[in-house]
C-alpha cells in the first residue's frame, strides 16, 4: 500500500474482504489517520515494521506459548515502553494508534492490537478475546493457549493448556470467553471513540466514527441501524433513510434488528412526509 493512498479506500477494501485476519496494526493506523490527514504516517509505519522485525528475529527462541508471551511482553513493554494509561484512561488519544505510538500509552484494545501485530510476526497465533470489559489477547502455539493483558505490560493472567478458552467473569456471571475476528477488534477500538463522543454530547463526532465502523463491517446490520439513528439524531434524514434500508437488506425478517429498523424507517417516513 502506498503511504499516500486514501485511508477510506483502504478501509473499504478491508471491509469487503471480511472478518480477517488483516494487517491489524496497519488497519488501526489507517483509522487513526482519518483524524490526522496531514500527519506523516511513515514514522509510525516504520515503528510497526521495527516491532515486526524484532519479533521475527526472536522467533527461533520461542518454544511454546509461554515463551512467546514473555518475548512479546519484553519487546513491547520492556524495550518499547508501552503501558496502559491509568491516569487519563478516557482520553480519546488512547484509542488513536498514531498517538498511542507517540505516547507509548493507550487503552487495552489499542495496545492489544500492537501485541497481536508483534505476536503474529513472531509466528504465534494471536486474537482478541470477547470479554465484557477488559480487552485481552490470546496467544497460541502448538495447540497451547495463553492469555495476556496488554494494558498491564503483557502479563500472563491465566495460562491455559486446555483447548477450551478460559472462563471469564464473576462466579454468578461466568461465561466462556471466545476469540473474536480482527474486524471485531477494530470495531471495538472505534466503539471506544464513539462512546466517548456520545458521553460528551458530540453527536457529529459519533456519527463520523459510526461511518468508519461501516467501512470495517459493511455486512453488519447493527452498524447500519446505529448509523441510521445517529444520522436521524443529527437531522440528516436522507442518509438516515438509506442506512435504515441497508439494515433491512442485511437483517433477517423477524429478527429484532430487522424489526427495529422497520419501525425506525416507518417513523422517519412520517417525519419526512
| Whether residue 90 is found in the same domain as residue 168 | yes
Residue-averaged pLDDT of the chain? 90
SS3 content of the chain, % helix, strand, coil (to 5): 60, 10, 30
| Whether residue 168 is found in the same domain as residue 257 | no
Residue 109 C-alpha cell reads as 484494545
Residue 94 has pLDDT above 80, yes or no: yes
Residue 4 has pLDDT above 90, yes or no: no
pLDDT tens-place string over residues 106-159: 999 999 999 999 999 999 999 999 777 789 999 999 888 999 999 999 999 864
Count the neighbouring beta carbons within 10 Å of the beta carbon of residue 6. Answer: 13
At residue 74, the pLDDT reads: 97
| Domain membership flag for residue 196 | no
Here the CATH number for the domain that contains residue 77 is 3.10.620
Verify cis geometry, omega within 30 degrees of 0, for the bond prior to 214: no
Query: Domain residues for 107?
Result: 7-179
| Whether residue 33 is found in the same domain as residue 143 | yes
Residues contacting 248, CB < 8 A, separation 6+: 258, 261, 262, 265
| Whether residue 242 is found in the same domain as residue 130 | no
| Domain membership flag for residue 68 | yes
At residue 162, the pLDDT reads: 30
Burial class of residue 189 (count of CB atoms within 10 Å of its CB; 0-12, 13-18, 19+): buried
| Whether residue 26 is found in the same domain as residue 145 | yes
| Whether residue 34 is found in the same domain as residue 136 | yes
| Whether residue 28 is found in the same domain as residue 157 | yes
| Whether residue 175 is found in the same domain as residue 250 | no
| Domain membership flag for residue 209 | no
Identify the domain boundary among 128, 157, 179: 179
Q: Pairing between strand 105-106 and 83-84?
A: parallel
| Whether residue 224 is found in the same domain as residue 171 | no
pLDDT above 70 covers a percentage of the chain that reads 91
Identify the domain boundary among 179, 204, 233: 179
| Whether residue 169 is found in the same domain as residue 230 | no
Residue 195 and residue 197: Cα distance in Å, rounded? Answer: 5
| Domain membership flag for residue 206 | no
| Domain membership flag for residue 174 | yes
Contact yes or no for 215/247 (Cβ under 8 A): no
For cell 496488554, what's the residue?
150
pLDDT tens-place string over residues 193-240: 999 999 999 999 999 999 999 999 999 999 999 999 999 999 999 999
Confidence of residue 255 (pLDDT cuts 50, 70, 90): confident
Average pLDDT value for residue range 1-15? 83
Identify the domain boundary among 155, 179, 203: 179
Q: Which of 144, 163, 8, 178 is nearest to 66 (CA)?
A: 144
- Spell out the alpha helix ranges (H) of 59-181: 65-73, 97-103, 108-121
Confidence of residue 176 (pLDDT cuts 50, 70, 90): low
| Domain membership flag for residue 191 | no
Query: How many domains are there within the chain?
Result: 2
Amino acid at each position: 500500500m502506498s503511504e499516500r493512498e486514501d485511508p477510506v479506500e483502504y478501509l473499504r477494501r478491508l471491509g469487503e474482504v471480511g472478518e480477517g485476519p488483516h494487517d491489524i496494526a496497519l488497519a488501526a493506523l489507517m483509522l487513526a489517520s482519518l483524524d490526522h490527514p496531514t500527519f506523516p504516517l511513515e514514522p509510525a509505519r516504520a515503528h510497526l515494521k521495527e516491532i515486526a522485525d524484532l519479533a521475527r528475529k526472536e522467533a527461533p527462541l520461542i518454544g511454546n506459548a509461554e515463551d512467546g508471551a514473555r518475548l512479546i511482553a519484553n519487546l513491547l513493554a520492556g524495550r518499547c515502553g508501552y503501558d496502559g494509561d491509568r491516569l487519563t484512561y478516557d482520553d480519546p488519544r488512547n484509542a488513536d494508534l498514531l498517538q498511542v505510538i507517540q505516547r507509548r500509552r493507550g487503552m487495552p484494545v489499542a495496545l492489544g492490537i500492537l501485541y497481536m501485530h508483534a505476536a503474529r510476526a513472531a509466528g504465534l497465533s494471536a486474537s482478541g478475546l470477547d470479554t465484557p470489559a477488559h480487552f485481552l489477547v490470546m496467544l497460541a502455539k502448538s495447540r497451547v493457549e495463553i492469555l495476556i493483558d496488554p494494558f498491564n505490560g503483557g502479563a500472563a493472567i491465566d495460562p491455559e493448556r486446555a483447548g477450551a478458552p478460559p472462563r471469564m467473569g464473576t462466579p454468578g456471571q461466568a461465561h466462556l470467553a471466545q476469540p473474536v475476528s480482527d474486524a471485531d477488534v477494530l470495531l471495538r477500538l472505534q466503539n471506544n471513540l464513539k462512546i466517548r463522543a456520545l458521553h460528551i454530547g458530540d453527536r457529529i463526532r459519533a456519527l463520523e466514527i459510526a461511518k468508519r465502523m461501516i467501512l470495517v463491517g459493511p455486512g453488519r446490520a447493527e452498524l447500519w441501524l446505529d448509523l441510521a439513528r445517529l444520522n436521524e439524531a443529527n437531522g440528516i434524514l436522507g442518509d438516515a433513510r438509506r442506512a435504515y434500508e441497508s439494515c433491512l437488506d442485511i437483517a433477517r425478517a423477524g429478527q429484532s434488528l430487522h424489526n427495529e429498523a422497520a419501525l425506525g424507517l416507518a417513523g422517519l417516513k412520517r417525519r419526512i412526509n
